[in-house]
Structure formats: structure tokens, C-alpha cells
Chains A and B, each alone.
Chain A
Amino acid sequence: MSTTIDPEPEVEQAPQTKPPTRAGDALFSGTALGAGLLVILFLAGVGAFLTIRGLPALDASGDSAYGEPNIWKFVGMLLVGTVYASVIAMVIVTPLAIALALVISHYAPKKLAKPVGYLVDLLAAVPSVVFGLWGLEVLAPRLLPLYKWLNEHASWIPLFDGSVNQRSLLTAAIVLALMALPIVTAILREVFAQTPRAHEEAALALGATRWEMVKLAVFPYARSGMVAAVLLGLGRALGETMAVAMVLSATGTGYLTASIITSEAPNTIAAFIANYYANASGAKINTLIFAGLALFLLTFLVNFAGRWIATRGQVKG
């Protein structure tokens, strides 16, 4: 029954003092922050190294640019080769990964889906040297007859023109596709599996078949995730070194050609550096590092685009 003013509100208003921090919380947030900063530091360090050591190559020409008239021609050739091989790889891997991810997330019974998922993930654990060996010794000889047939019957398409070689850009792209398959499939699988059940049931209740349900409910929901998955896979393919270096038979920066079944193909940056770094010295090293800088920026951009599209899609829902 008291009518005195409650003193409590004053206590609530008073303090600018922070609530006490627990030692564990402080430790954890400190560690997390430190780890995060360290990653940025590493990335900045790599970027700085590539820039500082690569910039002297800007006036490289002739011998120090591996026979190209200037550094831009040199990097340009390699960039074309890198992007060309990776894009072909993505063209191959995208339908394959979509099909595989759909089987795992929507078609296969659980008993089958899990082991298939594991197997695909396991593919990511195979060292790239092994992919390279396999591509060189097993895949390439078996593709040769196909290339010859394509060259005979479809050489009017620029893709299949020129003199046939089994260690061609297409062979390298197929190996790259297999190497990018696990990451693309894994992301797609997650994206597909997140389709809200309500949307799937809405489609099924309207009398959609399984495939119609996928088209009606899963794909529209997953669209941005699918683009992101392919871009992240592209990022993986762009930087792949060993397998391409082993499989592709391009010499030097290679030749600018549309054909994907000859040895006269443009080389890729990563493979070129791997093949030539051991014997490089002086200005040539700067040239190679400059090429590395170009690759760094390219993969950075592609990954950034992938992440950006992925998050943009999430916000939209």
C-alpha cells in the first residue's frame, strides 16, 4: 500500500558502465577477431608480394616476356587460355553437377544418396597430380578417336578445327571439370536441400511429377545458389595447376585458337608458371609473378562475384 516513489527506475537509468565481461567470452572473441584479422593480413601480404615483385615486369619484352612483344600480350594470351579452359570445364560440369546434386537431394532413396554423396566428396580428396596422371595416361588416349571423328566430320566448327592432339584443351577441361565436380555438387546439394518443404508440397499437391516439382519449386528457389556454385567451381578451375600442367601440351604461351582438340592451344597461367618457374631467373621471375598477380585478381573477382550472388539471393529469399 505504499505510495512512495519506487527508487528502481533511477538505478536502471544511471549507468554508462558496461556489463561485466566473462573471461571466456573475452578470450573467445579475441581469438576469433585475431584469426579473422590474420586471414586478411595473409591475403593482403600475398597481394602486396605479387604487386611489388610483379610490377617490374611491366616493361618486359622479348626474351623476358617469353618471346612475346610485351607483358600485356603475354598475360593476355595466358588469361585467354585460363578462362577458356575453365569455362569449357564449367560447361561440362554444370549439367553433371546439377543432375548429381538432384539425385542426391531429391531422387535417390536415403540409403543410396548418402554413399553417393560421400563418393563425390571423396573425389575432392584425390590429389591433382593423380588427376593429371590419369588424364594423361588413361583419359587422353581414349579421347583421341573421338577427337579424330570430330575433326573429320565437324571441322567446319572452329572448335574442332586444326591438327588433332590428345593432350588438347578439351582433355584438360574434362579433367578440370572432374576436379571441380565435388565442390559444385556439394554446394548445389545444400542449396537444393534447403528448398522449403512447403513449396515442394505445394507443387506436388497440384499434381506435379517429381521433375515438374523440381522445376516449379526447387530451381526458382535455388537460382542464385546455382550461379554461385558454378562461379565458385570456376574459381577452383581457374587456379588449378598440376593437372593442367601435365595434361596440356601447349608450349610457351601457346597459340590463340578457338580449337579445343589440338595441341596448338593457349596455355593457362597456373600451368605456365608451374612449367617455367624452375628454369626462370632475373626478369623472367618478375614476369611469372606478374602472371600470378593476374590470376590472383581473376580468381578473387570470380569468387567475390560468386559470394555476392549467393548472399544477394539469400536476402531475397
Chain B
Amino acid sequence: MAKSIEVDNLDIYYGDFLAVENVNVHIKAKSVTAFIGPSGCGKSTVLRSLNRMHEVIPGARVSGNVRVDGQALYAPGVDPVAVRRQIGMVFQRPNPFPTMSIYENVLAGNRLNAKRMGKSEADDIVERSLRGANLWNEVKDRLGKPGMGLSGGQQQRLCIARAIAVEPEVLLMDEPCSALDPISTSAVEDLIHELKSEYTIVIVTHNMQQAARVSDDTGFFNLKAVGEPGQLVEFNPTTKVFSNPDNEATEAYVSGRFG
């Protein structure tokens, strides 16, 4: 089910503005890949281009290739809606649907896919997804309560449950812990470790310890220069990036001698 992602010569534009230039990455299936780098260097943009979410912003476009298990994401005739159904996403701020119960939040994606499902099937999906997100024991007695009533960390795990309820092939996470306290962060990180066995995960993070803890491979993004587009400076196994990086700028960044 998990799939690998191949990115070739990817340039991303907002209107005429070239935001990210010439990204080449091979993301392995069933692994965690972290994108690190200073703010504004395009890591989130690259992440969003992996499920075509950047297209939500008017004028955004890409050139180059993104292939998920050999299937081109940007081929003509590929429906971005279909892409997003296979590649789930978790955002910086927990964003459960405010008017829905915990139960309905988990099922939101499945309901969109318009499959008719019986009560027992729905119950199964909710339990499996919430267990998968390590949230089941905390919420199993109040599934009918609003999702907004949970704590921030629980909300984020609810959002992860919602994303995995549709059994995506890839899970993208855009700074999923930046709005969470350390205990919730640790819960989400544990979860990422477990999810790795079933999903390909790409995570953007500002927290380098987090990248070191959870990821197998790490990509370091940086601006070429002020006013220039962002680029992928280095992409290597995480252990190498944090102990013996190829690039000087990477070493400066991970050791804190930067900016």
C-alpha cells in the first residue's frame, strides 16, 4: 500500500515568482523522510506539491516531475482531488471540523469517497483509525462529543486518525508538532514511528531533534541567497546529515551555527 515518491527537476512557481528550484529527491516507501531548513526556504511548498495542495493558492504551478510509484502526479488528466485521496496530509495547526463529533471527524474522508457503508463498517473504521492514531483509549467513551473539545495534542492525533481513515498511500505532515507541548509532541512522534510500518511519511519540521528522532532520511532546504529561490541543499540518511553532512551549510545549520 505504501508507495515511494520520485521527484525530478521540480520547480515551483507562485505566479512569476520562482519559489523553489530544481528539487530532486527519492523518497523510499515505508520510511520517514524529514525536510528541515530555515523559514521561507520552500520546504512546506515542496511538501504541498507532493499532493497538489499548493494549487489551492491562485497562480501556483510546477514544472518537473513527481511520480508516486512511477505514476506521474502532474500528467495531464490527473485529477488533483483523486491525488489527495491517496496522499493524506496533516497540518501545522490541528484542524478538526468544528461542528462534527469525534466520530464524524474520523469518517469525514470516507464519507467524501461516497462509499455506502453500514454502521458496523463505519464503527470499525473509526476504531481502527483512532487506535492507529493512539487516541482510542482516550476518546472511546465520548465519540459523540465535538472534536474541538479535545486538547491540542489529541486534536492533532484526531487529524492523523482522519487522514489514515481513508488508508492513503503516503502521509504528509507539515510541522505537525509545532503547536503542541512536549508531551503531546512525544505522543505524535511515537505515532509516526508506528505508522512507518504501513505508510510512507514525509514530515516538515523546524525541530532538528525531532527530525533526528523520527526520520530515516533528511533533506536540508536553504535559500540560494536572499531573494533567490529555495533549493534542496542536501539529501542523505538522517544519521549522516546529523553527524557528517556533505555540505558545509548543512553542518552549520544542524549544529546551530547558522543565521
Contacts and interface: CB of A to CB of B under 8 A. Distances in A.
Interface of A: 109-110, 196, 198-209, 212, 216-217, 220-221, 223, 317
Contacts of B93: 198
A108 to B, nearest CB: 11
B104 to A, nearest CB: 10
A206 B95 contact: no
Interface in B176-203: none
A35 B53 CA distance: 49
Contacts of A201: 53, 56, 89, 91, 95
Given A201-B56, A212-B112, A206 B163 contact: yes
A206 B58 contact: no
Greatest chain A CB density within 10 A among B83, B84, B93, B112 is at B112
B53 A198 contact: no
Given A202-B91, A204-B53, A205-B88, 19 more contacts: A198-B91, A199-B95, A199-B97, A199-B98, A201-B91, A202-B95, A202-B96, A202-B97, A202-B162, A203-B97, A203-B108, A206-B163, A207-B84, A207-B109, A207-B112, A207-B166, A209-B81, A217-B97, A220-B98
Contacts of B86: 207
19 contacts: A199-B95, A199-B97, A199-B98, A201-B53, A201-B95, A202-B91, A202-B97, A205-B84, A205-B88, A205-B91, A206-B88, A206-B108, A207-B166, A208-B84, A220-B98, A220-B99, A221-B98, A223-B99, A317-B98
B99 A206 contact: no
B58 A208 contact: no
B85 A207 contact: yes
A216 B109 CA distance: 10
B201 to A, nearest CB: 15
B130 interface: no
Interface size class of B (residues with CB under 8 A): 20 to 34
A208 B109 CA distance: 8
Greatest chain A CB density within 10 A among B56, B89, B99, B113 is at B99
Greatest chain B CB density within 10 A among A202, A204, A212, A216 is at A202
B159 interface: yes
Contacts of B83: 207
Contact of A205 (B89, B96, B99): B89
Nearest to A110: B58
A201 B163 CA distance: 12
B82 interface: yes
Given A199-B98, A208-B81, A216 B91 contact: no
A79 B171 CA distance: 60
Contact of B159 (A202, A204, A221): A202
A139 to B, nearest CB: 38
Contacts of B45: none
Interface string B95-120: 11111100000001100110000000
A202 B220 CA distance: 27
B166 A206 contact: yes
A208 B112 contact: yes
Contacts of B99: 220-221, 223
B51 interface: yes
Nearest to B109: A206
A200 B95 CA distance: 9
A99 to B, nearest CB: 21
Contacts of B81: 207-209
B79 to A, nearest CB: 9
A216 B53 contact: no
Contacts of A216: 97, 108, 112
B68 to A, nearest CB: 14
A110 B57 CA distance: 12
Given A109-B58, A201-B53, A201-B56, A206 B85 contact: yes
Interface in B213-247: none
A204 B95 CA distance: 12
Contacts of B148: 317
B102 to A, nearest CB: 15
A198 B95 contact: yes
A201 B92 CA distance: 11
B82 A207 contact: yes
Contacts of A203: 97, 108
